[in-house]
Amino acid sequence: MSDNPLLQAWTTPFGVPPFNLIRAAHFPPAFDQAMAAHRAEVAAIAGTAAAPSFGNTLATLEGAGRLLDRVRSCFSNLVSSQASEALQAVERDYAPRLARHRTEITLDPAIFARIGALHAARDSLDLAPDERRLLERTHAGLVRAGAGLDPAARARLTELSTRLATLHTAFGQNVLRDETDWQMLLAEDELDGLPGFARDAARQAAAERGLDGWVITLSRSSVEPFLTFSTRRELRERAWRGWVARGTNAGAQDNRPLIRAILALRAERARLLGHADFAQWRLADNMARAPEAVDRLLRQVWVPATRQLEAERAELEKLAGAAGHNGPLEAWDWRHWAERACRALHDFDESLLKPYFPLEGMLRAAFDTAGRLFGVSFTERHDIPLYHPDVRAFEMLGADGQHRGLFLLDSFARAGKRSGAWMSSYRVAESFAGEVTPIIVNNNNIAKATPALLSFDEARTLFHEFGHALHGLLSTARYPSQSGTNVLADFVEFPSQVLEHWLTVPETLRAHARHHETGEPLPEALLQRLLASRNFGQGFATVEFVSSALIDLALHTHADPAALDIDAFEQEFLAGIGMPQAMVLRHRPAHFQHLFASGGYAAGYYTYMWAEVLDADAFDAFEAAGDAFDPVLAAGLRDIYEAGDTRDPMELYRAFRGRDPEVTPLLRKRGLLVA
């Protein structure tokens, strides 16, 4: 037997990867062996002499590639959260190989012929509803991927996928290098305005880099508090310019040439598949169906958002002028004066809130919410091998006390960990060939400090990612390709975003928002000011998001992306939509990892807003019931979390809500309704 731990049976608790044994050098031979095994499994299915059946074709395909799934999930999670030069070298080498392998399997003509025969005979196969949907979705996916095209077109699609994988990898690694390399070292007399939690985090960041002083990094948990609280305007400008310049620095790390190449290859792929542009191809298989539907939704929100933003600007400029600020507000001023305006208008100071939002308390709040809604509980385990000392492991138990899944939590920002927050899996739930329980991981990028105190936005992000985790942990789908978050792209954010609402349920805050030193609950007056201020700044937040979603569509519908001057296009686009002064995109193209570090959200960044229509409308039902934990509604919501892709998402939503979603609750939630 091989001494490569990736190729051995894992005897760890719950089958967690033996992280203490795994090294970067183990991945290349493991990938090679796993891809060879997968090819052999698929060849056996394709060469089966028996007529195709659900069992000998589709179900067998669901069971193929297990070793590759195990190796790939382990690698992708580690290279995102614990990237080393050695792991990144493997990623650069194997990303195109894995893409080629995946595309060749998908475009295998013999497999497509067998699936096509089953699809043609589907009405006579007596399939269970989830089996029928699996067959229909698999067939549609193969058609969308180009399995029905001629050999030359299939060969070109394979080349495109391989090249795109290389470009995606380079894009993401460039952003990570820019974020890792940049730092702003501060002396004590440059900390003006920073509250204690921000100073402590900056001090710890300096210590981690072997420096004496205080360091601001381009981790969002570091740079945004600095932009919010620092009274040193010239330092705010320096930090802001470093933040928005990611991916645009001259030389090998310049992402702009990569964007042009990625967009051109995606456009060519879409044309080969019979679509006018990439956005049309992508959206044809989403709930939205077409770019026009997405544009309508975004424009519905854009108009009231820009109107609200102008009102916010007037308030901020009045406040800034009275405080001695001369001239217009610039982009590096906005967060600073918005925080001061919130303090003045709502008597609400974010720095006073943070002592009541320790990470431990907010984690208990998330676990308690899951328990009250879905009857599950979480117990920390200290016998699980983990890949970094910051990571914690929690076993999820059902109402019967039985094991239902393992939840890993990786909370803190660090060098080598990509920015942002995300959920992923080491293993998904399934039961078609024996019950397999999920192993789910949440990554956040909280500034490490003792204790770790969260902003309200960080607490909301914790709930958001935990919503994704529950989508994976609660799944009861039989087949892995239908499990958990394997749903239509513009439905995947609904289970995460709807859970955010429970953070602001007053009884959640009263129970779990407690001072990290005294244990005293959040003062009722401060709680009420927090709730009253929730809509403050929503013009800014909405414009920041919607503009990024609109440029995503514009880039992926461009007629000649290979000729794009990215900077000029960005400026022309912002002028064309009437982007307000002192506003920039939340994600400028050169560091828009949702779009260009992979293809997952390409022509799909709108999904957060699409899902927000659903989540605001869904939580409206709980508010109308007068009980945020109404058991009947909670049971209906659990059905959605459990179902995965076994049913059409709009069918699932209608079963829960009794009707189609409405946009009014979203506008009301964001404070954008005109009286």
Other C-beta atoms lying within 10 Å of the C-beta of residue 250: 7
* Beta-ladder partners of 358: 453
Identify the architecture of domain 256-348+537-603 in CATH: Orthogonal Bundle (1.10)
Q: What is the mean pLDDT of residues 556-582?
A: 95
pLDDT of residue 66 exceeding 90, the answer is yes
CATH 1.10.1370.10 range(s) for the chain read 256-348+537-603
Looking at domain 5-106+108-145, what is its CATH homologous superfamily? Endopeptidase. Chain P; domain 1 (1.20.1050.40)
pLDDT per residue as tens digits for the range 509-567:
999 999 999 999 999 999 999 988 888 899 999 999 999 999 999 999 999 999 999 99
Q: Which of 28, 32, 41 is nearest to 105 (CA)?
A: 41
CATH 1.10.1370.40 range(s) for the chain read 355-532
Other C-beta atoms lying within 10 Å of the C-beta of residue 657: 17
φ, ψ dihedrals at 404, nearest 5°: -125, -15
Strands 403-412 and 377-381: unpaired
- Our CA angle for 382, 197, 352, nearest 5°, is 110
Q: What is the mean pLDDT of residues 454-464?
A: 96
First to last CA, the chain: 72
183 token code pair? 């730092």
Other C-beta atoms lying within 10 Å of the C-beta of residue 426: 20
Distance between CA atoms of residues 215 and 222, nearest Å: 9
Whole-structure pTM value: 0.95
pLDDT of residue 118 exceeding 70, the answer is yes
Q: What is the pLDDT of residue 196?
A: 92
Strands 439-446 and 403-412: parallel
Q: What is the pLDDT of residue 327?
A: 85
pLDDT per residue as tens digits for the range 276-322:
999 999 999 999 999 999 999 999 999 999 999 999 999 999 999 99
Angle between helices 359-374 and 631-643 (to 10 degrees): 100
Distance of CA 474 to the CA centre of its chain: 18
The answer to whether residues 649 and 488 touch, using CB atoms and an 8 Å cutoff, is yes
- Our CA angle for 624, 630, 632, nearest 5°, is 105
pLDDT per residue as tens digits for the range 249-272:
989 999 999 999 999 999 999 999
pLDDT per residue as tens digits for the range 22-57:
999 999 999 999 999 999 999 999 999 999 999 999
392 token code pair? 């914690």
Cα–Cα distances (Å) from 419 to 217, 344, 411, 413, in that order, read 11, 32, 12, 8
The answer to whether residues 396 and 406 touch, using CB atoms and an 8 Å cutoff, is yes
The mean of the pLDDT values for the chain is 96
The three-state secondary structure class of 436 is strand
Strands 403-412 and 392-397: antiparallel
Distance between CA atoms of residues 497 and 311, nearest Å: 27
Q: Which of 62, 91, 430, 465 is catalytic?
A: 465
Identify the architecture of domain 355-532 in CATH: Orthogonal Bundle (1.10)
Q: What is the pLDDT of residue 674?
A: 65
Distance between CA atoms of residues 48 and 158, nearest Å: 25
Distance between CA atoms of residues 148 and 145, nearest Å: 8
Cα–Cα distances (Å) from 60 to 53, 98, 108, 248, 435, in that order, read 10, 21, 15, 46, 16
Distance between CA atoms of residues 373 and 503, nearest Å: 13
121 token code pair? 């005979």
Q: Which of 218, 201, 224, 200 is nearest to 456 (CA)?
A: 224
Of the listed ranges 28-32, 200-204, 343-347, 563-567, the least confidently predicted one is 343-347
Query: String of b and e for 567-579 (b: at least 16 CB within 10 Å)?
Result: eebbeebbeebeb
Distance of CA 559 to the CA centre of its chain: 29
Q: What is the mean pLDDT of residues 227-234?
A: 97
Q: What is the pLDDT of residue 166?
A: 98
Q: What is the mean pLDDT of residues 665-671?
A: 92
Q: Which of 443, 439, 448, 475 is nearest to 462 (CA)?
A: 443
The three-state secondary structure class of 655 is helix
Q: Report the half-sphere exposure of 34 (CA within 13 A, side-chain side).
A: 26
507 token code pair? 């009884």
Q: Which of 379, 382, 377, 476 is nearest to 13 (CA)?
A: 382
Of the listed ranges 13-22, 213-222, 267-276, 336-345, the least confidently predicted one is 336-345
Cα–Cα distances (Å) from 655 to 397, 610, 639, 658, in that order, read 27, 18, 9, 6
Q: Write down the residue that tokens 């999930």 correspond to.
A: 73
Q: What is the pLDDT of residue 558?
A: 97
The answer to whether residues 439 and 410 touch, using CB atoms and an 8 Å cutoff, is no
Distance between CA atoms of residues 366 and 377, nearest Å: 10
The answer to whether residues 115 and 57 touch, using CB atoms and an 8 Å cutoff, is yes
- Our CA angle for 424, 15, 19, nearest 5°, is 70
SS3 content of the chain, % helix, strand, coil (to 5): 60, 5, 30
Q: Write down the residue that tokens 């244990």 correspond to.
A: 519
pLDDT band at 139; cut points 50, 70, 90: very high
The three-state secondary structure class of 381 is strand
Edge-to-edge strands, sheet with 403-412? 377-381, 392-397, 403-412, 439-446, 422-427
Handedness of CA 43, 44, 45, 49 (dihedral sign): positive
Side chain identity, residue 241: R
Residue 465 annotated to the active site: yes
SS3 assignment for 325-350: CCCCCCHHHHHHHHHHHHHHHHCCCH
Distance between CA atoms of residues 638 and 656, nearest Å: 9
